[in-house]
């Protein structure tokens, strides 16, 4: 395999492994939020923010933990036939399924970029132009100029009325990392088909 492919795999795998090990502790964050929710309902006045924040924490845990799960091979797999196959046949099947996963993640990434633009107040059909204008405004005029590009910020329809852009940005970042990790897995599958290891 070319050197750039090995470097790509090493960097993406290393980053997702490190992030995944940090995100593992998100389980304790969710537990703390839900524990406070139970305590506040029992002993105090119920908090409006707990349920929605627990949902946001769960999404963060799931989406940012996905690349780590993909790297570790911890995702659900149908082993009825797969377990008995040779390493070469497994590499062929993995390369086909990872290629399909890359297509699916590309669709998810585009959808999340569109949804994030909507949450930042863009209601048009060209989200990439919105992001370009936002970056140009921020670079040339700072935060004040960027705030002029941003429209009416989307909020949830709950009593808490949380802003939606932070969780949508996290989802976009997670889908991007998962796409990078899927490409890394494809490179490793191709290397295995060639009789190499990365």
Kindly indicate the confidence band of residue 82, based on its pLDDT and cuts at 50, 70 and 90.
Answer: confident
- pLDDT of residue 41 exceeding 80, the answer is no
Helix%, strand%, coil% for the chain, nearest 5: 75, 0, 25
Contacts of 56 (CB under 8 A, 6+ apart): 162, 166, 167
Instruction: Compute the average pLDDT of residues 158-185.
Output: 91
Phi first, then psi: give them for residue 163, nearest 5 degrees.
-70, 140
Contacts of 65 (CB under 8 A, 6+ apart): 20, 23, 24, 26
Q: Are 146 and 137 in contact (CB under 8 A)?
A: yes
pLDDT, one tens digit per residue, over 166-178 is: 999 999 999 999 9
- Among 84-88, 139-143, 180-184, the range scoring the smallest mean pLDDT is 84-88
Q: Could you tell me which of 173, 161, 162, 178 has the C-alpha nearest to residue 101?
A: 178
Q: Could you tell me which of 177, 6, 186, 196 has the C-alpha nearest to residue 100?
A: 186
Instruction: Compute the average pLDDT of residues 138-153.
Output: 84
At 2 the pLDDT is 79
Q: Give the residue with greater pLDDT, 78 vs 160.
A: 160
Instruction: Compute the average pLDDT of residues 141-146.
Output: 84
Kindly indicate the confidence band of residue 77, based on its pLDDT and cuts at 50, 70 and 90.
Answer: low
Q: Which two tokens stand for residue 167?
A: 């969780």
């Amino acid at each position: 395999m070319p050197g750039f492919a090995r470097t790509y795999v090493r960097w993406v795998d290393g980053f997702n492994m490190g992030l995944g090990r940090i995100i593992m502790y998100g389980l304790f964050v969710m537990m703390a939020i839900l524990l406070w929710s139970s305590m506040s309902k029992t002993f105090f006045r119920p908090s409006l923010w707990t349920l929605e924040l627990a949902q946001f924490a769960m999404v963060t845990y799931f989406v940012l933990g996905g690349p780590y799960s993909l790297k570790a091979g911890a995702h659900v797999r149908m082993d009825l036939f797969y377990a008995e196959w040779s390493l070469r046949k497994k590499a062929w099947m993995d390369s086909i399924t990872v290629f399909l996963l890359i297509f699916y993640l590309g669709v998810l990434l585009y959808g999340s970029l569109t949804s994030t633009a909507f949450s930042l107040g863009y209601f048009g059909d060209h989200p990439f132009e919105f992001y370009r204008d936002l970056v140009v405004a921020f670079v040339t005029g700072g935060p004040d100029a960027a705030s002029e590009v941003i429209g009416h910020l989307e909020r949830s329809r709950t009593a808490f009325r949380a802003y939606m852009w932070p969780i949508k940005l996290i989802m976009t970042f997670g889908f991007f990392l998962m796409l990078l990790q899927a490409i890394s897995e494809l490179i490793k599958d191709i290397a295995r088909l060639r009789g190499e290891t990365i």
